């Protein structure tokens, strides 16, 4: 089997564990920082916490806005007993590359890095600039992107943002935002045989969830392309034993919001709605991202992809959120396209895989896109 440079890099990245519980996530960032530095980029490794790092690598003229390509370096966790393949072996079986991160999204990172290297090798030193923003902790709420965005002077002016999340190489134009909230009910414990002497926190939480469900049904929001607001009650916790009235209960909520305005106001609105029942504790708020299909960048990107993938008739949107929720606004509300190798259905699953041909196609799409953007007016 002939192994392309981008496939070899993807395998190398998969073999470096970067799950939330691993202690060597920084090694992924260090590997890529060294590689991009050797390719001629002006590279910054921004470390934070005990073992996290972002890479920002720029090449080209510093006085004009850059094309920004971004991907995250972390993955979700692994329960190895469920896998038939070694989740960190990066084995290729037939045309499939297996491993945690094969789809989400180390193959996409390998493709943008390889495309950037080839673009630099074929361009003038004073050519149109590009910047790579490779982030930590996207899977737990785009924390690395937020650290990078808050660092003064780190992210340069940009004209376009590409996020290399798995979309089967279909260019997609955005996604809903995410609002994560905890509902917390507090009561008073006592013996279960005399519940009237206590205050049952689980009952208060259930009442709050009922009111919330009725409010959601009566106050829907929807975007013509991004779709409706959704709510998932992801976790419930409360009580100690069946014969003790619980004094504490908690529900973890995940809203996906199509509206910028609602994303900014939802937490306060629910706090007011539920104030006599539970406390609303904000955890995460990431805005939606959307680029109109008529934007010239969308047309250019679809032209760049046309020779490498059967395009859908109309550009789609992603069902997951990405670091674009942080980076698009930080870069000046730039046109944003999400496009990368691997099926979105493979994200976070057992025996995760990506078709090797898609990794090579993504590299070609990104390189084609960079050259087309270089040739187009800023």
Separation CA 203–CA 176 (nearest Å)? 32
pLDDT of residue 377: 60
pLDDT of residue 267: 96
The encoded tokens of residue 299 equal 């047309």
- Residues 71, 214: one domain? no
Q: Model confidence over 337-374: pLDDT tens digits?
A: 999 999 999 999 999 999 999 999 999 999 999 999 88
- Cβ–Cβ under 8 Å, residues 152 and 146: no
Q: What is the CA radius of gyration of the chain?
A: 23
| CA nearest neighbour of 175 among 312, 325, 345, 294 | 325
Q: Which residues, 6+ apart, have CB-to-CB distance to 272 below 8 Å?
A: none
- Residues 200, 102: one domain? no
- 355 as an active site residue: the answer is no
The encoded tokens of residue 374 equal 């270089």
25-38 helix and 106-121 helix, angle to the nearest 10 degrees? 10
- Residues 100, 156: one domain? yes
- Residues 224, 276: one domain? yes
- Residues 13, 122: one domain? yes
pLDDT of residue 24: 80
The encoded tokens of residue 247 equal 């004094």
Residue ending a domain, choose from 232, 255, 286: 286
Separation CA 178–CA 164 (nearest Å)? 19
- Cβ–Cβ under 8 Å, residues 288 and 175: yes
- Residues 305, 249: one domain? no
| CA nearest neighbour of 237 among 229, 246, 224, 228 | 246
Burial pattern 300-312, b for ≥16 Cβ within 10 A else e, equals bbbebbeebbeee
The encoded tokens of residue 354 equal 């990506």
Neighbouring C-alpha atoms within 13 Å toward the C-beta of 95? 7
Residue ending a domain, choose from 266, 286, 306: 286
Q: Which residues, 6+ apart, have CB-to-CB distance to 130 below 8 Å?
A: 58, 59, 60, 66, 67, 68, 69, 116, 119, 120, 370
Q: Please list the ranges in the chain whose pLDDT falls under 70.
A: 1, 377-378
Which CATH number covers residue 11? 3.40.630.10
State which H helix or E strand residue 11 sits in: helix 5-15
Q: What is the pTM of this model?
A: 0.92
pLDDT of residue 166: 97
Which CATH number covers residue 234? 3.30.70.360
Separation CA 333–CA 324 (nearest Å)? 10
Backbone angles phi, psi at 243, to 5 degrees: -100, 20
> Which is catalytic among the residues 6, 74, 165, 262?
74
Q: Which residue has the tokens 């260019």?
A: 171
pLDDT of residue 1: 63
Separation CA 306–CA 364 (nearest Å)? 11
Q: What is the dihedral of CA 259, 366, 113, 286, to 10 degrees?
A: 0
- Residues 131, 201: one domain? no
Q: Which residues, 6+ apart, have CB-to-CB distance to 51 below 8 Å?
A: 22, 23, 24, 25, 26
Residue ending a domain, choose from 244, 271, 286: 286
Q: Angle at CA 278, nearest 5°, toward 272 and 281? A: 75
Instruction: Tell me how many domains the chain contains.
Output: 2
Separation CA 112–CA 372 (nearest Å)? 15
Separation CA 106–CA 336 (nearest Å)? 20
- Residues 271, 339: one domain? no
- Residues 232, 190: one domain? yes
Separation CA 5–CA 116 (nearest Å)? 13
The residue range of the domain holding 303 is 5-175+288-375
> Which is catalytic among the residues 138, 139, 247, 360?
138
- Residues 94, 13: one domain? yes
- Residues 254, 332: one domain? no
- Residues 154, 166: one domain? yes
Q: Assign residue 169 a region (left: φ > 0; alpha: ψ between -120 and 50; beta: otherwise).
A: left
| CA nearest neighbour of 292 among 339, 228, 227, 336 | 336
Q: What string of DSSP letters covers 204-227? A: HHHHHHHHHHHHHHHS--EETTTE
- 281 as an active site residue: the answer is no
């Amino acid at each position: 089997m002939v192994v392309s440079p981008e496939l070899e890099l993807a395998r190398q990245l998969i073999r470096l564990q970067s799950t939330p519980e691993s202690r060597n996530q920084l090694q992924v960032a260090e590997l890529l920082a060294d590689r991009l530095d050797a390719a001629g980029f002006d590279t910054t490794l921004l470390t934070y916490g005990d073992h996290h790092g972002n890479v920002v690598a720029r090449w080209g003229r510093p006085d004009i806005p850059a094309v920004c390509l971004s991907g995250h370096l972390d993955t979700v966790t692994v329960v190895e007993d469920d896998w038939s393949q070694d989740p960190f072996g990066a084995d290729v079986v037939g045309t499939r590359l297996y491993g945690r991160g094969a789809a989400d999204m180390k193959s996409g990172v390998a493709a943008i890095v390889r495309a950037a290297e080839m673009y630099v090798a074929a361009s003038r030193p004073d050519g149109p600039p590009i910047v790579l923003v490779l982030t930590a902790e996207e899977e737990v709420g785009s924390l690395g992107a937020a650290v990078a965005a808050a660092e003064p002077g780190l992210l340069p002016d940009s004209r376009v943002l590409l996020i290399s999340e798995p979309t089967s190489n279909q260019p997609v134009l955005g996604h809903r935002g995410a609002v994560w909230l905890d509902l917390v009910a507090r009561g008073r414990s006592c013996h279960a045989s005399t519940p009237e002497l206590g205050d049952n926190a689980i009952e208060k939480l259930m009442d709050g969830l009922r009111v919330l469900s009725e409010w959601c049904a009566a106050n829907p929001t929807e975007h013509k392309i991004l779709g409706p607001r959704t709510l998932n009650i992801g976790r419930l916790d409360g009580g100690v034993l069946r014969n003790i009235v619980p004094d504490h209960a908690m529900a973890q909520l995940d809203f996906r919001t199509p509206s910028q305005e609602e994303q900014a106001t939802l937490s306060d609105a629910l706090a007011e709605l539920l104030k006599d029942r539970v406390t609303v504790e904000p955890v995460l708020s990431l805005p939606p991202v959307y680029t109109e299909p008529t934007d010239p960048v969308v047309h250019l990107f679809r032209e760049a992809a046309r020779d490498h993938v059967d395009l859908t008739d109309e550009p789609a949107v992603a069902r997951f959120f990405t670091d674009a929720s942080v980076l698009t606004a930080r870069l000046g509300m730039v046109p944003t396209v999400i496009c990368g190798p691997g099926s979105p259905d493979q994200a976070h699953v057992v025996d995760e895989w990506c078709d090797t041909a898609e990794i090579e196609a993504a590299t070609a799409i990104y390189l084609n896109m960079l050259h087309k953007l270089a040739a187009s007016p800023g």
